Amino acid sequence: MTPNNRFALLALIALLLVPAAQAAVATAASFDDKVDNAAAIILGKVVRTESRMDPSGRWIVTYSTFRVEKSFKGQAAQEITLITPGGSLNGIHQSTVGVPAFEQGDEHVVFVKNTKVGPTVLYFDQGTYDVTTDSHGERVIAPVPTNLVTVDEQRGMAVASADEPRTLRQFERAVADSLKSMEAHKQQMSAAPELKARPARPVTLIDTLAQNKLLFALAFLGLALAAWQFWKR
């Protein structure tokens, strides 16, 4: 079975066997992938939310405004409004499995992606983290609970998230280390020696003779034979 067939089978199993949980399938994103592809990574509190119909009038979208406390990557403004599919409007509720739903007053770390319609959450549930406080009063950054089934495309199999709760300091250090590693890799790639063509050297008479030894040898023998016949007369 090819990886694509395995991926399709896993998606079908997830959707058929867990209807109550409404599981969905998405490609697994590593922490480095998220750091690399995020336009910004912010820690903030949701100060307001507003749901509206999209321009087609068929889907509800929600605008969640965050007051930014800290930026781990990028230069975010004091506030940022993220748009996500789903929400409640006029007694109608729409939701999408794998897409985070933000509530006013909640604190989150969010990996931000820029789109034509505005900033949104990179990898949705995979790019969203809850912020809580432990018994020691230290803030903890943990992946949001999700029904999303993540799949490793290369191996064609479902994989568990490698993300674990971290303290705020550990999370900030992990982002900084990932950024530093990527920058070092880019510098290494740009500094790799490139093969350059050597400038052409003018062709000399010696070069011509060396490349055409047989031709000149035959010509020399022809001249010698002609001279011998001339002197023979």
pLDDT digits (tens, 9 = 90+) for 100-146: 999 999 999 999 999 999 999 999 999 999 999 999 999 999 999 99
Using CB atoms within 10 Å of the CB of residue 82, give its burial: 0 to 12 exposed, 13 to 18 middle, 19+ buried: buried
CB 62 within 8 A of CB 86: yes
Within a 13 Å sphere around the CA of 67, how many CA atoms are in the beta-carbon half? Answer: 7
pLDDT at 33: 96
Contact 157, 128 (CB under 8 A): no
Mean pLDDT to the nearest integer, 150-158:
84
Reading the block at residue 72, the tokens are: 């781990």
Using alpha carbons, select from 112, 124, 48, 116 the residue that is nearest to residue 86.
Answer: 124
Single pTM value for the model? 0.72
Q: Tell me which amino acid residue 158 is.
A: A
Residue 96: pLDDT band with limits 50, 70, 90: confident
- Predicted local distance difference test score (pLDDT) of residue 110: 98
Binned at pLDDT 50, 70 and 90, residue 158 comes out as confident
Kindly indicate the confidence band of residue 9, based on its pLDDT and cuts at 50, 70 and 90: very low
Contact by Cβ (8 Å): 119, 82 = yes
Q: Which domains does the chain have, with CATH numbers?
A: 28-145+164-178 (2.40.50)
The DSSP code for 144 is P
- Tokens read off for 122: 């990179």
